[in-house]
Amino acid sequence: MTIIDLSGKRALITGASRGIGRAVARAYAQAGAHVILLARTTGALEELDDQIRENGGTATLIPQDLRDFEKIDMLGPALAEKFGGLDIFVGNAGMLGTLGPLAHTDVKKWQGVMDINLNANFRLIRTLAPLLLASSAGRMIFTSSGLAERALAYYGAYASSKAALEMMVKTYAAETEKTALRVNLVRPGVVDTAMIKEAYPGGYPGELRQPEDIVPVFMHLAAPDCKKHGRAVSLSDL
């Protein structure tokens, strides 16, 4: 993996307590960034914090549920007050939801998937945009899915939320084309995470990537010299 220097950068990562978010947090901290870790699970965040500090990095923990939209709206001003700004935002938190026929999907469960995968990221864009636009090399990176453009039976809520996320992010990228902010998405492929275990309780029938395998994409998109903008990037694109 290409070594990228993130010294002095402030990076917020959602869904940081496990899986891809955890791997990205460790990599950014090792590259010199101060990582701000947001997730619901306090114990897992504290364990990650210990690992980061043991390796010489620094972290701030934010135990928070992304469905608390009022708290999300206050996040940008709170980070500005505490850290003086923000340079990198990784919108990684995601929810699979219940798999099943679209016409039989429970309305509340559908809304839950949309709230985490789409609406929370909309609120995060709104609250974090002033900070990232003020950075000399602001970066917004969102975790998407190949299902954003490929229909697969029984994944209606999840796939719809990711398709909407991609359009929202690409729209914001078009609106910030003439700024220093770079806005992109990552399509990680099939990764060995809690979500894939939820989707395939009997075990995924094919080959799985590990969360660490996807880190180079997030490193590339966070780099101060990255030129990509409004793209959905896979490992094969590097």
Check pLDDT > 60 for residue 1. no
Share of the chain above pLDDT 90, in %: 98
Q: Which of 130, 89, 93 is nearest to 115 (CA)?
A: 93
Burial call 87-120: b when 16+ CB within 10 Å, e when fewer: bbbbbbbbbbbbeeeeeebeeeebebbbbbbbbb
CA distance 134 to 32: 20
Average pLDDT over residues 186-210: 94
Check pLDDT > 70 for residue 90. yes
Note the pLDDT of residue 3. Answer: 74
Share of the chain above pLDDT 70, in %: 99
> Catalytic site residue 28?
no
Could you say which of 28, 154, 155, 158 is catalytic?
Answer: 158
Model confidence at 198, pLDDT cuts 50, 70, 90, reads: very high
Mapped onto helix, strand or coil, the DSSP state of residue 73 is helix
Domains located in the chain, CATH noted? 10-237 (3.40.50.720)
Average pLDDT over residues 75-94: 98
pLDDT in tens, 2-46: 679 999 999 999 999 999 999 999 999 999 999 999 999 999 999
Note the pLDDT of residue 2. Answer: 64
**91 bridge partner residues:** 142
Mapped onto helix, strand or coil, the DSSP state of residue 142 is strand
Note the pLDDT of residue 201. Answer: 92
Check pLDDT > 90 for residue 110. yes
Q: What average pLDDT is seen over the chain?
A: 96
Burial call 4-27: b when 16+ CB within 10 Å, e when fewer: bebeebbbbbbbbbbbbbbbbbbb
What are 218's two structure tokens? Answer: 């997030």
* pTM exceeds 0.95 for this model: yes
pLDDT in tens, 123-176: 999 999 999 999 999 999 999 999 999 999 999 999 999 999 999 999 999 999
Cα–Cα distances in Å, from 114 out to 67, 94, 148?
10, 10, 13
Average pLDDT over residues 201-226: 96
CA distance 198 to 196: 5
